[in-house]
Structure 1
Amino acid sequence: MNIRADIPKPVAEPGTRVVRQRDVINRRALADTIEDLIAEDGIAKARSKILPLLQEALASGRAEISRRLLEKPSAGHEAAAAQSFLVDQLVRLIHDIAVRHQYPVNNPSAGERITVMAVGGYGRGEMAPHSDVDIAFITPFKQTSWTEQAIEAMLYWLWDLGFKVGQSSRSIDEMVRMAKEDLSIRTALLEGRYIWGDTDVYEEAKMRFYADVVSGTQSSFVAEKLAERDARHLRMGDSRYVVEPNVKEGKGGLRDLQTLYWIGKYIHRVSSAEELVDVGLLTTDEFKRFRKAANFLWAVRCHMHDITGRCEDRLTFDLQPEIARRMRFAERTGKSAVERFMQYYFLNAKVVGNLTGVFLAHLDETHNAGVRRFIPNITRRPKKLKGFTLDRGRLALPDEEFFSRDPVRLIEMFALADKHELEIHPLAMRAARRDAKLITNKVRKDRRANQLFLDVLCSPRDPELVLRWMNEASIFGRFIPDFGRVVAQMQFDMYHHYTVDEHSIRAIGLLAKIGAGALADDHPNSTETMKKLQNRRVLFVATLLHDIAKGRGGDHSVLGAEVALKLCPRLGLQPHETELVSWLVRHHLLMSAMAFKRDLSDFKTIQDFVSQVKSIERLRLLTVLTVVDIRAVGPGVWNSWKRQLLTDLFESSEEMLRLGHKQRGRDERILEKKTALQDGLKLSKAKFTKLSKRLPDPYWIAEPDDIIAHNARLMLKAGEDNLAIAAEAYPERGATLVTIYAADHPGLFYRIAGGIHVAGGNIIDARIHTTRDGMALDNFLVQDQNGKPFADERQLERLQKAVEDALANRNKLSVKLDARPMAHSRAGAFKITPVAMVDNDASNRFTVIEVNAQDRPALLNELAYALFESKVTVHSAHIATYGERAVDTFYITDLLGGKITNTTRLNNLKKKLTAAAQSEKSMKKAS
C-alpha cells in the first residue's frame, strides 16, 4: 500500500490560500523518501531515520513562514494559514505511517476506521507558530484495539516532533454526547475540519453534530458564548486598552472576532467569516474591517511566537519594541515607534469592539437569539426624546437620514441617553460611527452642541459609560479633536495601565462616583472636599484635559494648559473658569510630587506648595484631581499610604491658607505632642521629662502622635540595651512600620535598608533621628512586592531577624542582596538614564537630593551606601515608584548638621549617586 495514495476528501473550507506551498513543505517528495526508507529497512528500523526527516521538515517550514512574515510583516492571515498548512501535511504523513505501515489492516472491519479532524483554531485553518495542535480522532463505533494502537502511534509521532497536542479520541456517539454536555467541546467541534482518514466517518460525524447537537440549541449557545466572553473579559482586565494586552484572549482580541464567527456558524452554518455578509450579520464594509483587524492581530501574534519561540499571547513591554521594529513602525515627533505601533493595535481592538456591537444588534433584531438577556430591562418611557424613538427600551433613530438633517443630534443622542439613563440601540451606534464625519467646525462651534457635551461630561449619573460610548462611536474625538489625538495612545512605561483616552474617561467616572458619595470609604477627604466646591464643572473639564497633550513632544502639562485656554471658551466656560482649568491642567502633577517626594513635616515644603496654590478653592480642586488621576492609572496603584500623604498635605496647606502667618507655632505643636504622649504613657513627671528630653525638637515635628507613642514604648522597653527592633502592621498607612533603636554609627541607614530588602520588603518612607544621647531612632514604612503590608507573624519575625543580621554583619549583605529576584521581570525593556538633582531651596535646614533611576532590588540600599561614603547624614528618605522608574529623595546635612553648599562637594555627591543608580554591583565593596 503506497503512502502517496490520495484519499478523496471533502472540499476544503474557504480560507487564505497558501502560495508556493512546496516551499513550505513538499509532502509528496517527503512521502517518497519515507516510503523508500520503509521499503528498505522496515518500519521498526526506519523510524529512527524518519523522525529526523519530519523534524527537519517542520523546522524548515517554520523558517520559511518566518521569512515570509519578515518580508510581509503585516500578512497575518497568510502566516497563520501557512502554519496550519504545514501541520496538515505532517499530520497526513504521520497518519499514513501509523495506519498503513505500523498497524496495517488488509481487510478493515466497519469499526476499524478513523478520521483525523482538526478542531479549534487549527480547525479554522489559522495557527501561530507555536499554537497547540488540536485534533479529534473520530471512529464510527466504540474503539477497537486497532484504533487505539493507531491513534497512540500517531500521538507519539506528534509528541516527538515537539507539538503540544490537544487531542480527543471518541466514537461518533461519544462525540455527540459530550458535545451536548460541554460548551468548549461543542465550540471546538464547530470548527472541525477534515485533515485525513476515512471521509465517510467525517461526513457522518459532521451530519450528526449539526442534527443532534446544534439543532434547536442556537439560543442557548449564543447566551452561553456571550456569558463566557464576559467572564473572559473580566479575567483579562475588562478593557481593550490595558497596555500589555492579551492578543488572543483579551477584550478586542482574536477570541472576540472568533466568537462572532462561532455564533454565525452555529446559527447559519457559514463556512467562512465572509459568509456573515451573505446572512446579513455584517455589511461588506464591516466584513472588510473584520478581516483587516483579524489580519493585523494574527500578524502580531505570529511575530510574538516567532520572537519568543513559544506560545506567547500577552503583548508584554519587552516584546512591543521588537514587534514595532519588525512591522516597520517609525518614530514621529512626540511619539516613539513602539507607541505608534501600540496606538494602531488599540485602534484595531476598538474596531473589534464596534463590530461586536453591530453583530449582536443584527442578531437580536433578526433572531432574538438570547442577546437581550445581557441588556438591562428599561422600564422608564421618557416622552421628550427630541425626535429619537424607543426600540424595546433603547434609544433608536426614526430613519437613516436623521443625523444628516441635523448633525448636532450626534451629540444630543448621548445627552439624552445620559439624562434618561437609556441604552443606545447598536444600530443607532452604527449610524453614529458612519455619520461621525458630519461633525465639522460648524458643529464644534455650535452653542447647543457644546452645552449638550458639557451636560454629559459633568453628569451626576454615569458620565464614564456615556463618554465611553461616544468614544467607541468616534464622536468624542471628532467633537474634541485634541482628544481624538490621544485616542488609543499608550504610554510606554510600566506605571500607566491604560491608554490615555481610557485613563481620562476612567478618571471622570471616578470623579462622578466621589461626587455622588459612592467612594466615601476609599476617599473620605475627597468626598467631603467635593461637597464644598464652588464650581464642579471646572473640575470635570480639567480632568478631561489633564493628559490631552500627551504625545506632542513637550511637557504635556504646559501644552495641555494651552489647549485648555483655547477649548474652554468653546465649551461655554467663563473667562475665570477657563483660567482655573488651565491652571489645574498645568499643575496637575504638583500635589503628588510634593506629597510623595518631599518631607511633609518640613515647614518649607508646605510653604512652597501653598505659594503656588494660593487659594483654598484651588487646593480643593487640585486635591480631587490628583486623587482621581492616580486612582485611574490602574489597579493597585492607589493605596492608603498615598491617601494619607495627600490628606496630610491637604490639611497642612488648608491650615496655612486659612490662618496665614497665625498658624500654630513650632513650640506650641511640640508641647501639644508631648502632652498627648504623657497622657498616653501615664509615666511619672520625672520619668517622662527624662524620656522627652532625649528627643530633639525636629523629631516631635516630624512624627505623628501614634508613631511617637510607639517609639516611646520601644525605648522604655529597651532600657539600657543598645538595640531594639520592632515590626508591626500599620493599616492606616497601608504598610508595615519597622522601628530600629540602636547605637548611632555611620552606615546604619544602608545596612537597615539592605536587611529590609533581603526580607523581601520595599521601603516607601524613612525617617532617621538621633537622640540627644547618641542613639539612632529610625522609622521605616515597608510594603511587600505587591504593595501590601507585612502582617503575618512569621513575616514580621523574618523582617526583624533580617535587619538584626544586617546590623550585626552576620552574613555578607551583598551575597544576600544578589540572591533576591528582580522586582520587574520586564523592566529590561526600558532604559532610564539615572540623574541626581540637588535643591538647597526646598528646605530651610536640609539639602534635598532627588535621584531618578530605573527601579530594581536594593536600589535604596546602594544609594544609601553612596551617601555613607560621601560622609553625609541622612535625616529622612522618601521613596516613590512609577512602574519601572524610582524617585528617591533624601534630606541630608553634613556631619556637623549644616546644609551642603560647596559646589565641588555637591557635584561629587551627584556623581556618586548617579554611579550607584547605574550599577547593580556597587554594594560588593560595602560588605
Structure 2
Amino acid sequence: MSLSDLVPPLEKPRRQATAIPLAQLFDRAKIGAEIAKAHAEGLAGDALRRQALELFRAGLDSGRERAQEVLFASGGGLACATNLSKLEDELIRALYDFSVTYLYPAPDPNAPCLVVAAVGGYGRATLAPGSDIDLLFLLPSAEDAWGKHVTESMLYLLWDLKQKVGHSTRCVEECLVQSRRDMTIRTALLEARFILGDEKLFDDMCRRFDKEIVHRSPREFVVAKLEERDTRISKAGQSRYLVEPNVKEGKGGLRDLNSLFWIAKYVYRVRQASDLVDAGLFTRREYRLFCRCEEFLWRVRCHLHFITGRAEEILSFDLQRPIAERLGYAGRGGLSGVERFMKHYFLIAKEVGDLTAVLSAALEERHAKPAAVLDRFHIRVRRQDKLIKEFGFLIENGRLKAGRPDVLDHDPVNMIRMFWLADRYGVALHPDLMHLAISRLHLIDSNLRDDPEANQLFLDVLSSRNSPEVVLRLMNEAGVLGRFIPPFGRIVAMMQFNMYHHYTVDEHLLRAVGYLADIDAQRHRDDLPLTNTIMASIEKRRVLCVAVFLHDIAKGRTEDHSIAGAAVARHLCPRLGLTPAETETVAWLIENHLVMSDTAQRRDLADQRTIETFAARVQTIERLKMLFVLTVCDIQAVGPGVWNGWKGELLRTLFLETQIVLGGGHTKTERTERIQKAKAELRAQLPNWTDADFEAYAARHSQAYWLRVDLPRKIRHAQLLNQTEIDLPDPIIDIRTDAFRAVTEITLIAIDHPRLLAIVAGSCAATGANIVDAQIFTSNDGLAVDTFFISRTFERDEDEIRRGERIALAIEQALRGQIRLAEILAAKHAAAAKDTPFDVPAQVSIDNELSNRYTVIEVSGRDRPGLLYAITDILSQLNLNIASAHIVTFGEKAADVFYVTDLTGAKITTSGRRAAIRQKLLTAFPGQAATKAGAAGKSPAVA
C-alpha cells in the first residue's frame, strides 16, 4: 500500500482560499474605533479597560472560530497555524495601541521605543490553537521605565484574556549575555520575528546575535540540539512507532522538523525552508517531502487542539478515531479508517526520519557534528577488507560508504549486501549511503527478489548472531526491507487499534527478532534461564529466526492472520533457501504462534486434558522448543510491562508438563505414583508430625490438590491448616511475595460457600488489586484452600506486604459483612466510566471437551473495575462450583476462564442450562454488544 493510497480526498488540503483576510480574523481598526468612541463618551479607567477586554475577547473568539471553519473547509494545517499566528499578531498590536493610547502614553514620541517580537514556535509565524504565545519585549535600555509599564500592561491584558504567555523583558545586551549561557534562549532568539515597535532596535539585536553568537558556535549548537533531541525522544518514547505517538515531541514529530530547520538555519544561515534547496541540503524532491510532512503534522496537531480544547499533543486512542473521521479516512483492504489514518501518520514519521538522516550526512561533511554511534554496533574491522573493496564499498571513520557513485546500479545485489556488510563488520552505514539506497529502491524488482545470492545475504542478516534487529531496522528505514519482502511492506507503519500492543506491526516484528538475538547471545541468563537453555538446544535455528520475523506478517488482512501468515511463509521460505521440511515448520509455527500463550494463560495447566490436547497439537519436542522461544519473544516485543514473571512461570509449567507427555509420561499408573511421591515429599518436610497426624491431614485433600500444588505451597498449607483441626473462628489469610514471578500470593483458608470467590474478587477490585490467577480447592471437611495471585505493584517486599495486608483486611471485612462491595465497586465503576474508542464485543463460550472433569466457561469483553466480581457473583447465583479460575487482560479486553461443575460435581450438559448461563453472564457487560458463541465454541486467540 503506497502513501498516496492512504490519503483520502478530504485529507488533501485545497490550498486556495485558506489565507483569511486580516479584517475577517481580527478587525483591529473596528475594535480601535469602538474603544475610541467609548472613551469619547466618557468611559475611562477600569471601566474602559473592561470594555476593551470584552471587545478583544469577542474578536479573538470570532477569529479562532473562523480559523477552525477554514481548517474544516480546506484541510490546510499550516494555513490554520498561519491564520492563528496572524490573529495573535493583530491582537498584540491592538493591546499595544490601547496601552500607549489610554494607559501609558509615550513621554517622548521621538525617543526609541520598545519592540514586541514573537519567539520560539510563534516566531515561525505558526501557532497551534492551544499553544503558548512566546514573546520578547525588547527595551532600548534596562532602565526604560515606560517600556516596562507598557509591557506589564500588555501582559495583564493577555492574562485576563486567558492567553498562555511565555515572555521575557530584556535589552539587547541582556539578550546576548543570556543566549550565550542558555541554549533554550539562543534557540528562541534564532526564531525571533518582529511584530511592532522600533524596527531599527530589533534589527540591531538580530545583527549582533548573528555576529557574536551564531557565527562563532555552530558545532556547539548542533551538539546541544542533538542531545536535546535524544533526551526529548527518550521521554516521549524511543520508537517513532508507538501506537499513541506524541505529535509534537515524539520521534518523527513536528519538533524533529523544527530541530532540523534550527540546525540548518544556524549552520547554513538559511532564513526559510525553501532556502534548504539553495544551500544544497535538500533536493527539490526532499524539500517537497519536508513541506508535505510539515503540512500533515500541523493538520493533525490543529485538529487535536480544537477537539480537546487544550494543548494536547498525544494522539491517544480516544482521539485517533474522531480525527480520522474529520480527515475523511474510511475502511479499506482489511484496515479500518482509523488504522489507515495511523498508518499514514507513521509513514510520515518515517519520512521525517529520512530527512533527518539527509541533514546528518551534510553536517558530518562540514564536521558540524560528531560521527554517530549506533546501538549494539562494535567495530570489528581495523583495515579496508578486500571483500569490502571488491564490492565497491569502503569503511571510513567506522562507517560503511559507497566506494563508487554507481555502486548500487552496477550490482543491485549490493542493495542487500550493504546491510550484510554492516552486520558482518559491525559498522554503521553512512547517511549518504542510506540516502543513496532510498533513491535507488526501484532496483529492488522481481529479478533481485529471486536472486539466490541476495536471498542468502538477507537470511544471513536475519539469522545473524551480531545485531540483526539494528540492521533490519536500517533496512526498514531505507524502505529496502518492504521492497525486498513485499508482505513485510504491507505491514510497515500498520498499527493495531487496541491498548495491548504498544508498537506498529513492523516495529513489533523487529523487536521480536531483537529479543531472539538477545536470548541466543545469553543476555537473559538471569531472568529467562529456561528460555536460554532451550535456545541453545534448538537444532533448526534459522527456521526459528524466520518464524519470529514472519509471525505477524499477515496482520491487517480480512482473514485470520495466523492462517494467512502460514500461507505467506509457504510462498516466501523457498525463495529464502529453506527446504520443504523447514518451510512447513515455519508455517506451522506461524499458524500456531498464539496457541502456547493462550493455553498457558487461559487453561488449567493441572488438568491433564489441557496438557494432552496441547501435546497432540505440538507433536514433537523440537516444535515445542521453537514454539516456546517464539512465544517468549512475541510477548516480550508487545511493549513495556507486558511480559512478567507470572507469564513466564505459566509458560515454563506448560513446557515442562508437555515435554513429559511427548516423552511418553503421564499415564494413569504414573498419576498414582506422582500423588504418592507428592505425599512422601511433603511428609519429609514435616518431621515433627506423627504418621497418624499426617495420614489424617493427607486425607483432607483431593487427588487434584496433590497434583496441582507445588511443594513450598503444600508445606505452607499444612502449617496453616494444622491450626484449623479444632476450630476456625475466623478466616486465615497468609501473604507471600514472589519478586521473580512479579506476583503477591494471598492464601485464604475459610469455611467454603458459593460466594467466597466473588467476595475475594470484589475485595481485590475495591482495593485496586489485579488478580491474575487463582488456585481453588475445597478440603474434604469443607474448608476452602484458595490462593490468589495478585499483580505486584511495589519493588520492595516490605511495601508489597503492607499492600497485601490492606487487601487482606478488605477481604476480612467483606466476609463479615462490614463493607458493601456492590456499592463500592459501583462507585469505582462510575468514576472510571468514560467513552472508549474500542469495540470489544462481550462473548461467552461454554465447552465440555476441554476438560475431562469440568465444564470450561470462557467470558470475554471490555474490562472495567469490578468485572471479575460481577462474573463470579453471577456464577455463584447460578449454583456453579468454580474449581479454578484463570484471569487474563489484553489491554482493554478481559478474557477470563472458569472450570466449573454443578452442585453435584457434574458437568453442565443440558443445552437449556448452558444457554441460561450464557445469557446471565452477558449481563455483566451492560451496554456492550454480544458476539454469538456456541456451547462448544472456541474464543478467538489474542496476540
Return the TM-score normalized by structure 1.
Answer: 0.95
* Cα 1:310/1:825, change in 2 over 3 Å: farther
> 3-state DSSP class of the match of 2:664?
helix
Q: Is the Cα contact below 8 Å between 1:361 and 1:426 reproduced in 2? A: yes
Partner residue, 1:714: 720
CA deviation digits over 1:223-277, x for unaligned, max 9?
0110111111111221010000000000000000100100011112222122111
Partner residue, 2:706: 700
CA positional deviation for 1:106: 3.1
> 3-state DSSP class of the match of 1:642?
helix
Residues 281-290 or 33-42, more deviating:
33-42
Q: Is the Cα contact below 8 Å between 2:742 and 2:792 reproduced in 1? A: no
Correspondence for 1:450 among 452, 455, 458: 455
Partner residue, 1:475: 480
Indicate yes or no: 2:772 matched with 1:759.
no
Q: Is the Cα contact below 8 Å between 1:837 and 1:849 reproduced in 2? A: yes
Q: Is the Cα contact below 8 Å between 1:542 and 1:585 reproduced in 2? A: yes
Partner residue, 2:821: 813
CA distance in 2, matches of 1:473, 1:71: 35
Partner residue, 1:749: 757
1:567-606 aligned at under 5 Å gives the runs 567-606=572-611
CA distance in 2, matches of 1:675, 1:732: 28
1:190-339 aligned at under 5 Å gives the runs 190-339=190-339
CA distance in 2, matches of 1:360, 1:778: 61
Q: Is the Cα contact below 8 Å between 2:645 and 2:741 reproduced in 1? A: yes
CA distance in 2, matches of 1:565, 1:253: 38
CA positional deviation for 1:178: 1.3
Q: Is the Cα contact below 8 Å between 1:824 and 1:884 reproduced in 2? A: no
Query: Amino acid of the residue matched to residue 623 of structure 2?
Result: R
Q: Is the Cα contact below 8 Å between 1:823 and 1:857 reproduced in 2? A: no
CA distance in 2, matches of 1:271, 1:572: 53
Partner residue, 2:844: 836
> 3-state DSSP class of the match of 1:270?
coil
Alignment identity in percent? 44
Partner residue, 1:518: 523
* Cα 1:680/1:174, change in 2 over 3 Å: farther
CA distance in 1, matches of 2:213, 2:387: 48
Partner residue, 1:32: 33
CA distance in 2, matches of 1:690, 1:567: 63
CA distance in 2, matches of 1:582, 1:625: 13
Q: Is the Cα contact below 8 Å between 2:373 and 2:428 reproduced in 1? A: no
> 3-state DSSP class of the match of 1:829?
coil
CA positional deviation for 1:570: 0.7
Partner residue, 2:887: 879
CA positional deviation for 1:869: 1.2
* Cα 1:827/1:391, change in 2 over 3 Å: farther
CA distance in 1, matches of 2:425, 2:798: 47
CA distance in 1, matches of 2:99, 2:653: 75
CA distance in 1, matches of 2:839, 2:107: 67
Partner residue, 2:367: 368
* Cα 1:181/1:730, change in 2 over 3 Å: same
CA distance in 2, matches of 1:823, 1:593: 32
Partner residue, 1:58: 60
> 3-state DSSP class of the match of 2:578?
coil
Q: How many residues align?
A: 902
Partner residue, 2:6: none
* Cα 1:38/1:843, change in 2 over 3 Å: same
* Cα 1:788/1:610, change in 2 over 3 Å: farther
CA distance in 2, matches of 1:823, 1:733: 31
Partner residue, 2:941: none
Partner residue, 1:187: 187
> 3-state DSSP class of the match of 1:877?
strand
Query: Amino acid of the residue matched to residue 743 of structure 1?
Result: I
CA deviation digits over 1:40-65, x for unaligned, max 9?
32353211111111111111111111
Residues 23-32 or 128-137, more deviating:
23-32
Q: Is the Cα contact below 8 Å between 2:475 and 2:481 reproduced in 1? A: yes
Partner residue, 2:5: none
CA positional deviation for 1:377: 8.5
Partner residue, 1:83: 84
1:756-835 aligned at under 5 Å gives the runs 756-783=764-791, 791-820=799-828, 828-835=836-843
Residues 791-800 or 846-855, more deviating:
791-800
CA positional deviation for 1:821: 6.4
CA distance in 2, matches of 1:94, 1:623: 68
Q: Is the Cα contact below 8 Å between 2:793 and 2:800 reproduced in 1? A: no
Residues 694-703 or 340-349, more deviating:
694-703
Correspondence for 2:568 among 544, 563, 571: 563
CA deviation digits over 1:33-85, x for unaligned, max 9?
22322333235321111111111111111111111111123x11111111111
CA positional deviation for 1:712: 2.1
Residues 226-235 or 672-681, more deviating:
672-681
* Cα 1:377/1:605, change in 2 over 3 Å: closer
> 3-state DSSP class of the match of 2:885?
strand
Partner residue, 2:351: 351
CA deviation digits over 1:743-774, x for unaligned, max 9?
11121111111011111101100122111111
Partner residue, 2:101: 100
Query: Amino acid of the residue matched to residue 201 of structure 2?
Result: V
CA positional deviation for 1:618: 0.2
1:574-723 aligned at under 5 Å gives the runs 574-660=579-665, 665-682=670-687, 683-718=689-724, 720-722=727-729, 723=731
Indicate yes or no: 2:554 matched with 1:542.
no
CA distance in 2, matches of 1:288, 1:513: 40
CA positional deviation for 1:373: 5.8
Indicate yes or no: 2:442 matched with 1:419.
no
CA deviation digits over 1:400-444, x for unaligned, max 9?
322122211101111111111111111111110111111111111
1:718-737 aligned at under 5 Å gives the runs 718=724, 720-722=727-729, 723-737=731-745
CA deviation digits over 1:797-842, x for unaligned, max 9?
2111111111111111122113336898887111211000011011
Partner residue, 1:389: 394
CA positional deviation for 1:522: 2.3
Residues 577-586 or 793-802, more deviating:
793-802
1:836-855 aligned at under 5 Å gives the runs 836-855=844-863
Indicate yes or no: 2:747 matched with 1:739.
yes
4+ runs of 1 displaced by more than 6 Å? 785-790, 821-827
> 3-state DSSP class of the match of 1:856?
coil
CA distance in 1, matches of 2:19, 2:796: 52
Correspondence for 2:867 among 852, 859, 862: 859
CA positional deviation for 1:685: 2.2
CA distance in 2, matches of 1:556, 1:445: 25
CA deviation digits over 1:600-629, x for unaligned, max 9?
011110000000000000000000000000
> 3-state DSSP class of the match of 2:67?
helix
CA distance in 1, matches of 2:679, 2:581: 46
CA distance in 2, matches of 1:408, 1:823: 60
CA deviation digits over 1:459-492, x for unaligned, max 9?
1100000000100111100001010000000000
State the superposition RMSD in angstroms.
2.0
CA distance in 2, matches of 1:184, 1:166: 13
Q: Is the Cα contact below 8 Å between 1:403 and 1:409 reproduced in 2? A: yes
CA distance in 1, matches of 2:71, 2:924: 43
CA distance in 2, matches of 1:815, 1:175: 61
Residues 769-778 or 594-603, more deviating:
769-778
CA distance in 1, matches of 2:171, 2:93: 20
Query: Amino acid of the residue matched to residue 370 of structure 1?
Result: K
CA distance in 2, matches of 1:414, 1:638: 31
Residues 97-106 or 424-433, more deviating:
97-106
Query: Amino acid of the residue matched to residue 776 of structure 2?
Result: I
CA positional deviation for 1:100: 2.8
CA distance in 1, matches of 2:748, 2:885: 15
> 3-state DSSP class of the match of 2:828?
coil
CA positional deviation for 1:894: 0.2
CA deviation digits over 1:88-145, x for unaligned, max 9?
11111111212332111231685x7311111111011111101011111111221443
CA distance in 1, matches of 2:300, 2:534: 46
Q: Is the Cα contact below 8 Å between 1:827 and 1:884 reproduced in 2? A: no
CA distance in 1, matches of 2:497, 2:519: 29
> 3-state DSSP class of the match of 1:857?
coil
